[in-house]
Amino acid sequence: MSWLVPLPIVLPLLGAALSILAGRSRLAQRVIGVTVLTALVGVAAVLLVAVDRDGTIVSRAGAWPAPLGITLVADRFAATMVMVASVMLLGVLLYAIAEPGVERNHVGFQSVYLVLAGGVAASFLTGDLFNLFVAFEMMLTASYVLLTLGGSREQVRSGMTYVVISLLASTLFVTSLALLYAATGTVNMADLAVRMAELPPGVRSAFAVLLLVVFGIKAALFPLFFWLPDSYPIAPSPITAVFAGLLTKVGIYAIVRTQTLFFPADSRPGTLLLVLAGATMIVGVLGALAQDDVKRILSFTIVGQIGYLAFGLGLFTVAGVAAAVFSMVHHIVVTTALFLASGLIERTGGSSRLTAVGGMVRKAPVMAALFLIPALSVAGIPPLSGFVSKFALIDAGIVAHQYPIVAVSLVVSLLTLLSMLRIWAGVFWNPVEEPSVSIAAVAPAVTRRPAMMLSAAAVVVCSLAVAGAAGPLYGLSNRTAHDLLDRTDYIAEVSRR
């Protein structure tokens, strides 16, 4: 089954090349994009089943053994993330095709989007840090193009902020790679897990903090989150949805992978992670409460929710890591659904400002439901997946006697609910406060597009499926946590010749 492992990377890149060859034929590009991502979902599903049944699968380019060759590794964690990412990438692409926006106005959208998909898959499946850097650069290049589609001055300015911060993070990443190679003589992840134990404890702890900073920028952890609320709200709705759902989670994935695989228990920065998690939660939710724009509220909400993922990892227990893995699946789906719903709000109301839209529950009740379900989920209301996620995290925190972070998480959950209710009341129930500045008042009426609703509804249904399958998914997350904290199988499979 090792031939399956490269396919989630190869298929999107091949699709991107074919999309370029299709030239300006929108139909051909759309057929290629949807076909490739549909195939990617199928491959990811088969890979996840195979990995969960048989264990870690390794693919070696050119049959060169680690650490000499390029190694791709699919374990339960990587396969789960590829599966969820593939479904969301397909759902957002269908939404983008239905929306009268960037996909139809820019001939390069499909090819760049598929490059982004390849970069996301490569980030999850790579078995060495240098190729993780390459995957990050693939995502950076594609995301900058997607972020600035439309070419407005505000988009370019926000895009430049995103690029500058990402380049600084990349520079720090390369520096970290150089230091790691100088200290251990390798950048292969399994090999690093073995050789890191030979370094002095102080050096190991320094590397743990350094990698936390590098990937913390990508993940938008406090105090490295400031670029996200400025960049995401400016992008077109489908782009914001895929960025919000996936890109920060790639950073969290890298943190989980490196901290659990590279470092023994005495070198893991658990206390530091818990402090950063609490600060990230608080800053995110307070920032959300201070905004009056739907996209900016949701952007700060992303930051707050990232804190919950760091909370689970910072415990470094099976229960905590399992809760973090389940929460990653939940957040990817629910955050994507929320931003697709915000795109529907902006498309229908002509604006995303709370004071410029209102009373939409009467003219768009389906859209109201599509927003309400993921909004309640992200706030942790039962029986939705957000409740399962937060319950698992809080239970793990109590078992580990980390009562301060548990208290913070409970307060932040209540404040998150308040921020979601502000959107619910302002957009769907309250009358328009500033009709004179509403874009809808001066722009032609927006034609309803059922395909957009159906695409967003499909993602919302996925969020309900996460709640409905919470038991099996948490069982998978628990097995994944055992794999992550017991590195034996990963190292043995990669090192096998």
Residue 474: what pLDDT?
A: 94
| Residue 125 near residue 9, CB atoms below 8 Å | yes
- Give CA–CA dist 392/380, Å, rounded: 11
Residue 211's nearest CA partner among 100, 291, 133 is 133
- Give CA–CA dist 412/390, Å, rounded: 11
Whether residue 359 lies inside any domain: the answer is yes
Residue 336: what pLDDT?
A: 93
Residue 398: what pLDDT?
A: 95
Whether residue 153 lies inside any domain: the answer is yes
Instruction: Give me the sign of the Cα torsion angle 231, 234, 239, 241.
Output: positive
How does pLDDT run along the chain (497 residues), one tens digit per residue? 788 899 999 999 999 999 988 877 888 999 999 999 999 999 999 999 999 998 889 888 766 776 777 889 999 999 999 999 999 999 999 998 888 777 776 778 889 999 999 999 999 999 889 999 999 989 888 888 888 776 667 667 767 777 888 888 889 999 999 999 999 888 889 888 889 888 888 889 899 999 999 999 888 888 888 778 777 777 778 888 888 888 889 999 999 999 999 988 888 888 999 999 999 999 999 999 988 888 889 989 999 999 999 999 999 999 999 999 999 999 999 999 999 988 888 877 777 777 777 777 777 788 888 999 999 999 989 899 999 999 999 999 999 999 999 999 999 999 999 999 988 888 887 766 665 444 444 333 343 567 888 888 999 999 999 999 999 999 999 999 999 998 888 888 887 75
- Give CA–CA dist 124/8, Å, rounded: 10
What residues contact residue 366 under an 8 Å CB cut-off, 6+ apart?
Answer: 453, 457
- Give CA–CA dist 109/247, Å, rounded: 18
Whether residue 136 lies inside any domain: the answer is yes
Per-residue exposure over 280-303, b if at least 16 CB sit within 10 Å of its own CB, e if not = bbbbbbebbeebebbbbbbbbbbb
| Residue 43 near residue 4, CB atoms below 8 Å | yes
What residues contact residue 413 under an 8 Å CB cut-off, 6+ apart?
Answer: 379, 380, 390
Total domains, the chain: 1
- Give CA–CA dist 76/260, Å, rounded: 14
Whether residue 430 lies inside any domain: the answer is yes
Instruction: State residue 22 phi and psi, 5-degree precision.
Output: -70, -10
Instruction: State residue 383 phi and psi, 5-degree precision.
Output: -100, 25
Strands 71-74 and 57-60: antiparallel
The whole model's pTM is what?
0.91
Range of the domain at 238: 2-492
Residue 285: what pLDDT?
A: 93
Residue 39's nearest CA partner among 75, 15, 73 is 15
Instruction: Give me the sign of the Cα torsion angle 440, 446, 450, 451.
Output: negative
- Give CA–CA dist 122/134, Å, rounded: 9
Whether residue 497 lies inside any domain: the answer is no
